[in-house]
Amino acid sequence: MKIIFLGTGGGRFSAINQRRMTGGFRIDNLGGKNYHIDPGPGALVRTYQFGLDPRNIDGVFVSHAHTDHYNDAEIMIEAMTRGMTQEMGYVIGGKSVLSGFESWGPCISRYHQSNSKVLELEAGDVRYFDNCLIRATPTNHGDPKGIGFQIEYKDFKISYTADTSYFPELSKAHQGADILIASVLRPGRKSIKGHMSTSGFIKLVNEIKPKLAIMTHLGLKMITNKPIAEAKRITKLTGIKTLAAFDGMSLDINYNNPARARIVSLKDVDAPYHGSNSKISSYERKNIDKLAMKNNESDEFDLIQRRRFQ
């Protein structure tokens, strides 16, 4: 199994200035399936940039109705369902994301929910999907219907807090996690309302005692404050191996020993089919067309046909 970070920046301003990317993360090869979690702005482009294929995902999870988490959800769903031509995969999220709640969302149109199995979850809900079990976990954040999750696959548990401040029930909801992924916006003690800072994260790690803890969704203060050194400090304080995620970080997870995950820094690929790439050669263009035809991406096919007859 791999956990791949396509963005480790968090919060509105991190997203606007892209000092760190905001594409969320993928859990790949979990029982043979791939899932994209919180595909924020740039998720699609970052997928290609790090050499992955957006078409091979089996589910999209969106934790709450903030742009840095949902922005690219619909286009990722289009990739998953082959441009909405096939019924495929899961769309998982809270009420605000999928149905709308008060002034929050919906963030994914009914059209984009129509070709996949939809799981609308409230904190505390437990559901099966593919070979896994998902428990929606509570958050204390701006969106009152925001959720995190704990996914269980054959006794192995991956927890994701999503955006939330620290509160005692949070560790109960994530109890038993082998891997804990948390949004940690700021270093130190001072936290912004509805967000976790390092001190809250330390409490959480001490209470849950995962085998591996990962901080992501880093705000501007954290980014400029040496997050790797901060992670080392937390490792020392808690005795739990803690990592600060970085853009393009891929973790090869051994189920028996997640603390010894192999960290790979993915190469920033000059993706040949990235449309904005000016260096693209005509030979490559030809192959893009072929590839599109092979994948039944028929609007492309349509365009090619028309171009020929013009």
Which one, 223 or 292, has the nearer CB to Zn ion?
A: 223
The whole-angstrom separation of Cα 108 and Cα 155 is 31
Tell me which residue of 142, 125, 231, 143 sits closest to 182, measured CA to CA. 231
In the complex, minimum distance from the CB of residue 11 to Zn ion, in angstroms, rounded to a whole number: 6
Which one, 116 or 161, has the nearer CB to Zn ion?
A: 161
Segment lying near Zn ion (by CB under 5 A), choices 17-25, 65-73, 166-174, 251-259: 65-73
Strand-strand pairing, 33-37 and 156-160: unpaired
- The only residue of 20, 26, 46, 66 in contact with Zn ion, by rule CB under 5 A: 66
Looking at residues 161 to 200 of the shown chain, list those that interact with Zn ion (rule: CB under 5 A).
163
- The only residue of 68, 130, 152, 230 in contact with Zn ion, by rule CB under 5 A: 68
In the complex, minimum distance from the CB of residue 15 to Zn ion, in angstroms, rounded to a whole number: 8
Which one, 219 or 248, has the nearer CB to Zn ion?
A: 219
In the complex, minimum distance from the CB of residue 122 to Zn ion, in angstroms, rounded to a whole number: 17
Residue 145 touches Zn ion, criterion: CB under 5 A: no
Which one, 163 or 178, has the nearer CB to Zn ion?
A: 163
In the complex, minimum distance from the CB of residue 128 to Zn ion, in angstroms, rounded to a whole number: 27
The whole-angstrom separation of Cα 172 and Cα 69 is 24
Segment lying near Zn ion (by CB under 5 A), choices 8-16, 53-61, 147-155, 297-305: 8-16
- Identity (one letter) of the amino acid at 14? S
Segment lying near Zn ion (by CB under 5 A), choices 54-62, 63-71, 126-134, 220-228: 63-71
Which one, 116 or 139, has the nearer CB to Zn ion?
A: 139
Segment lying near Zn ion (by CB under 5 A), choices 66-74, 169-177, 243-251, 271-279: 66-74
Tell me which residue of 116, 92, 89 sits closest to 37, measured CA to CA. 92
Binding-site size, Zn ion (CB under 5 A): 4
Which one, 192 or 304, has the nearer CB to Zn ion?
A: 192
The whole-angstrom separation of Cα 216 and Cα 244 is 6
Residues in the site for Zn ion, rule: CB under 5 A?
10, 66, 68, 163
